[in-house]
Amino acid sequence: MDDLLQGLRAAAEETRLRLLVLCGHSELTVSELTQILGQSQPRVSRHLKLLCDAGLLNRYQEGSWVFYRLSSKNNTSILAKTLVDLVPEDDSVVSRDLERLQSVKRTRVMAAEQFFKENAADWQRIRSLHVPEKEVEKRLENIFKGRDIGDFLDIGTGTGRMLELIGPNVDHAIGVDSSREMLSYARAAIEGAGLRNCQVRLADMYNLPFANQSQDGIIIHQVLHYAESPSRAIEEAARLLRPNGILAIADFAPHAVDSLRSEYAHRQLGFDPDEIWRYCQQAGLEQVELQVLEGDPLTVNIWTATSTSEILEEGIAS
C-alpha cells in the first residue's frame, strides 16, 4: 500500500501528470520534455526525480543522454499506465503537449533518415550478397510465433527491425546496441510503428544490464560476425534465458568475402554450424534446429537453442 500511496502523491500535480502522459507515449530526454512543456530544465528535472523515486518512471543513461520512460517492470507500473490511460487526450493542455511531442518525433525521424541515407549503400551491398532479407525475417518470425513470450531481448538491435518484427507478438521487448546512432534510428522506427511495448538501450553484449533468467526469447541477428568473442556473447545470452526460453542466432556460414572484414569491420568470416552449437553447449543450452538459407556468395544460417530445467537447477545450486 505504501508504494501505491507514494505513486499517487507523486502524480497528484499537473506538471508531473503531464510528464507521465508524455513518457507514456515515448522515451524522452530532459531537454525534449523541457521543450514540450515550456518550463525550465531544473524544474522539469525535479519533477522527474519525484516520479522516478515513486517508481512511476524509469531513468536510463545512454552515453551523455538520459532518457525517461513510463515504468514497466515494477509494482507501480500498473498504476503508471492506468493514470496515463485515465487522462483524456483531448484535454486542451494534454493535446497541446502531444502535438509538441509529435514535432519532437518528427525531428528524430529526420535525423534517423539522414543517418540511414549515409549508410544505406553499405547495408544494401551486404544484403545483395545473400538470400533476400524478407526470407530471413519470415524464418525468424516463425521461431517466436505462437510462443508465450513475456520478455523479449534483441541483442545488437541495429535499426530495430527485429523489434518491429517480433514486438507485436510479445508483452515487452528491449533492443540493445553499443551505437547511439543506431539506437536513435531504432527508437524512431519503433515509435513510428506504434510499438509502445518496445524500448531500446545502450549496452555491451558481453555485459548486459539484466537479471539472470529474465528473458523468454532472445535474438542475435547478424551481430556475431562483429564480435571479438562470439562464445562470450552466447554465454551472456544464455545467462538471461528462462527455463524453456528460446535463443535464435542468425549469421553467415563460412565464406571468403574478405572485403567484409577490411571494409565493414566484420571480425568473423562466418561460422560453421558445429562451432555455434559448441558455443551453445558450453553455455548450457540445448540444440533445437538449424535452418540453412543458401545464398551466393553468402549463406545465412539460423540456429535455435533453448534453456532447460537442468540449467535452472544448476543456477539454484550455485
Distance from C-alpha of 78 to C-alpha of 4, rounded to nearest angstrom: 10
Q: What is the DSSP letter of 305?
A: E
Q: What is the CATH number of the domain that holds 157?
A: 3.40.50.150
The residue ranking higher by pLDDT, 170 or 312, is 170
Own/partner contacts of 207-213, CB < 8 Å, gap of 24 or more, are: 207/236, 208/153, 208/155, 208/176, 208/236, 208/240, 210/153, 210/174, 210/240, 211/240, 212/239, 212/240, 212/315, 213/239, 213/240, 213/241, 213/242, 213/243, 213/245, 213/307, 213/312, 213/315
pLDDT, tens digit (0-9, with 9 covering 90-100), for 157-186: 988 999 999 999 999 999 999 888 889 889
As a whole number of angstroms, the longest Cα–Cα distance in the chain is 62
77 and 201 assigned to the same domain: no
Verify that 35 and 139 share a domain, yes or no: no
* Assigned domain for 57 exists: yes
Instruction: Give the percent of the chain with pLDDT over 90.
Output: 65
Angle at Cα 204 formed by Cα 200 and Cα 210, nearest 5°?
65
Q: What is the DSSP string of 66-125?
A: EEEEE--SSTTHHHHHHHHHHS-TTSHHHHHHHHHHHHHHHHHHHHHHHHHHHHHHHHHH
Distance CA 111, CA 184 (A): 8
Q: Residue 270 is inside which H or E element, if any?
A: none
Q: Is residue 304 part of a domain?
A: yes
Kind and range of the H or E run holding 238:
helix 230-240
Provide the pLDDT confidence category of residue 317 given band limits of 50, 70 and 90: very low
Q: Are 245 and 280 in contact (CB under 8 A)?
A: no
Query: Per the domain annotation, does 147 fall within a domain?
Result: yes
What whole-number percentage of the chain has pLDDT above 70? Answer: 91
DSSP 214: -
CATH number for position 69: 1.10.10.10
Question: Domain tally for the chain?
Answer: 2
In which band, very low, low, confident or very high, does the pLDDT at 313 lie, cut at 50, 70 and 90?
very low
What integer pLDDT is reported at residue 109 of this predicted model?
74
Q: Which of 7-11, 204-208, 233-237, 288-292 has the lowest mean pLDDT?
A: 7-11
In this structure, are 172 and 63 located in the same domain?
no
Q: What CA–CA distance (Å, rounded) separates 25 from 39?
A: 19
Which range among 39-43, 106-110, 131-135, 298-302 shows the weakest confidence by mean pLDDT? 106-110
Specify the pLDDT at position 217.
Answer: 98
Q: What is the pLDDT of residues 14-30, one digit of tens each?
A: 999 999 999 999 889 99
Averaged confidence pLDDT in the chain: 89
Residues 10 and 136 in one domain: no
Q: What is the pTM of this model?
A: 0.79
Confidence at residue 115, expressed as pLDDT on a 0 to 100 scale: 60
Cα separation, 163 vs 208, in Å, equals: 17
In the predicted structure, residue 318 carries a pLDDT above the cut 50: no
Within 241-295, where are the H helices?
259-264, 273-282
Is the per-residue pLDDT at 303 higher than 90? yes
Do 59 and 178 fall into the same domain? Answer: no
Domain span holding position 73: 2-102
pLDDT tens by residue, 242-261: 999 999 999 999 999 888 88
Give the pLDDT confidence of 37-77 residue by residue, as tens digits.
999 999 999 999 999 999 999 998 876 788 999 987 667 88
Domain limit, last residue, from 61, 84, 102: 102
Is 96's pLDDT higher than 50? yes
